[in-house]
Amino acid sequence: MLYFEIESATKTLCKELNTGKGYTGFFYFDDKTISAEICSYDESFDLKPEKSIFLHTEKNKVVSLHSTIVTSASSMGRQSEGEMATYKQHIISNMAVIGRDRWEATDRLKRVIFSIKRSRELLKHKEKFARLANKKIGDEFEPELFSETANGLTIRAGYGASFSFEYNAPTDISPYLEIEFEAGVTLFEYLEYVDCLVQFFSLSLGVHMNPSGIRICRLSRDEMLAALDANTDPGDYSVEYVWPEVPAEDSDLWAGGSLFTAWDDGELVALRQCIVVWMKRRANWKKANDQMMDSLASRGGISADRLLAACKWFEEIPLTRTQAAIADQHIQIIAETAVQKASQLGYAKIKDRIIGALKRIKTETNEEKFSRLLNKVKEKFGPTIVDDAITMHLKRAIEFRGKSAHGHFSPEDEAEFRVFAKSIYALEALCFLLTACDLPIHAAAPERAQSNPLLKHYRLAWKSTI
């Protein structure tokens, strides 16, 4: 921790910069809260919650608080031994930007650098990592893993390292991700692109992930290098959010079940291609990917909420849109034939009812939809990626969804609980496969996918639900 860095879970002295009076207090943040408490000993004051709030800390860093809630000012007075009074306001924020000066809500950034702790093993290219591990202090350092451009974005990955002077070697090598925005984006726009990459790696490992160590910069990489040469680099800014880590079983964090890795050159090529496709389809898949993260976050137990989360994920996947089982022109032909026969039997007035009934049956049934989707994933991942019984479990998931959506659902006994659990695992497994179905995965990925938590839990729950 550098002397001028602000440390998590530690109160830091500060003064506010909004009123011009410099009222003092404390700033605090950890993974559960971002807050400040400001106090005046002379007069009442009012920090407006609709505005960003800026703090100058004892570390000579400026904290810019955005999306804030400010409590009504409280006061405390004492009459004995002379009149004394204090006035205090408590600030709760969803976001804190920490740097050398203010970061206004309208300011634009061109780069964001961040880490995803649970993706470390996925981004560990064996040869590149080994070369970096053998570097000595003063040796040329080549940190970049890859760089790809898609839709006005440049996406990079690389390695950062800490060096030990005692051992003359790196002591910690960690991957980072970087997104550069050609036109620049605001503080409230960049995060959806970070989220999109985090979602990509969450799908890969089959567990919920969060970004960490977020740093933003007003300059592109080229502009930053030019500023360094001219000794005018403004530096970057750290961004803190309230994002507690979603717990996961240690066995679920094993990278051996990941769809995408950077372990060797071949895997790295596939990873890069998948990221490009993933980012290009971001707009069409945003709702599905957001629901995927909700589903992954709900995997702490078997419940109706977990089933509903999986159902919402399934419904938002573009591939699951219901298709016609009977073509429109065939509907018309069948209707005309039926109307003609009905007229012969004396039912000429039910023409509209016949056409309406045919329209209701022209779309595919749930069983037909599941059959179509399973054929698609088997073409991509191989015929044994899931067993034939999954269709039954998927149909049960829809039945349980109806019960869960119309009130509290609780399985009647252990047998029904097992069937209920199996149906959840089945739907999560199908969603996982469908989400990756259009991505150019590496040839080794389908076999690895069998060990992904989203498939493994379905497969291992088989015997207990027969």
Tell me the per-residue pLDDT of 178-195, one tens digit each, with 9 for 90 and over: 999 999 999 999 999 999
Share of the chain above pLDDT 90, in %: 69
pLDDT, averaged across the chain: 89
Average pLDDT over residues 70-79: 69
Q: How far is residue 448 CA from its own chain's centroid?
A: 22
Are 116 and 209 within 8 A, CB to CB?
Answer: yes
Strands (E), 71-168: 74-78, 84-99, 108-115, 144-150, 153-164
- Report pLDDT for 135: 85
For the cut 60, the answer to whether the pLDDT of residue 416 exceeds it is yes
Q: Look at 102-111, 130-139, 301-310 and tell me which has the smallest mean pLDDT.
A: 130-139
Residue 118: name the closest of 21, 10, 212 by CA: 212
In whole angstroms, how large is the CA radius of gyration of the chain?
28
Topology of 285-322+364-465 in CATH? Answer: Four Helix Bundle (Hemerythrin (Met), subunit A) (1.20.120)
Q: Which residue has the higher pLDDT, 226 or 340?
A: 226
Q: Which residues face 217 on adjacent strands?
A: 111
Q: Look at 231-235, 253-257, 285-289, 396-400 and tell me which has the smallest mean pLDDT.
A: 231-235
Residue 315: name the closest of 337, 297, 333, 295 by CA: 295
Residue 398: name the closest of 304, 294, 302, 311 by CA: 311
- Report pLDDT for 1: 41
Average pLDDT over residues 238-266: 94
**Type of residue at 176:** Y
For the cut 70, the answer to whether the pLDDT of residue 58 exceeds it is yes
Q: In sequence order, which residues have a C-beta less than 8 Å from that of residue 327 and are 6 or more positions away? A: none
Q: Look at 111-115, 146-150, 158-162 and tell me which has the smallest mean pLDDT.
A: 158-162
- Report pLDDT for 464: 44
- Report pLDDT for 465: 41
Secondary structure letter of residue 120 according to DSSP: T
How far apart (Å, rounded) are the C-alpha atoms in residues 77 and 319? Answer: 65
Average pLDDT over residues 296-321: 94
Residue 122: name the closest of 286, 313, 253 by CA: 253
Read off φ and ψ for residue 440, nearest 5 degrees. -80, 70
Are 204 and 190 within 8 A, CB to CB?
Answer: no
Q: Using 50, 70 and 90 to split pLDDT, how confident is the model at 2?
A: very low
- Report pLDDT for 380: 97
For the cut 50, the answer to whether the pLDDT of residue 25 exceeds it is yes
Q: Using 50, 70 and 90 to split pLDDT, how confident is the model at 462?
A: low
How far apart (Å, rounded) are the C-alpha atoms in residues 59 and 239? Answer: 16
Q: In sequence order, which residues have a C-beta less than 8 Å from that of residue 55 and are 6 or more positions away? A: 14, 15, 16, 17, 27, 36, 62, 63, 65
What percent helix, strand, coil does the chain show, rounded to 5?
40, 25, 35
For the cut 60, the answer to whether the pLDDT of residue 420 exceeds it is yes
How far apart (Å, rounded) are the C-alpha atoms in residues 212 and 104? Answer: 22
- Report pLDDT for 108: 97
Average pLDDT over residues 210-231: 94
How far apart (Å, rounded) are the C-alpha atoms in residues 423 and 396? Answer: 6
Secondary structure letter of residue 134 according to DSSP: T
Share of the chain above pLDDT 70, in %: 90
Token pair, residue 147, equals: 């760089």
For the cut 90, the answer to whether the pLDDT of residue 222 exceeds it is yes
How far apart (Å, rounded) are the C-alpha atoms in residues 368 and 265? Answer: 40
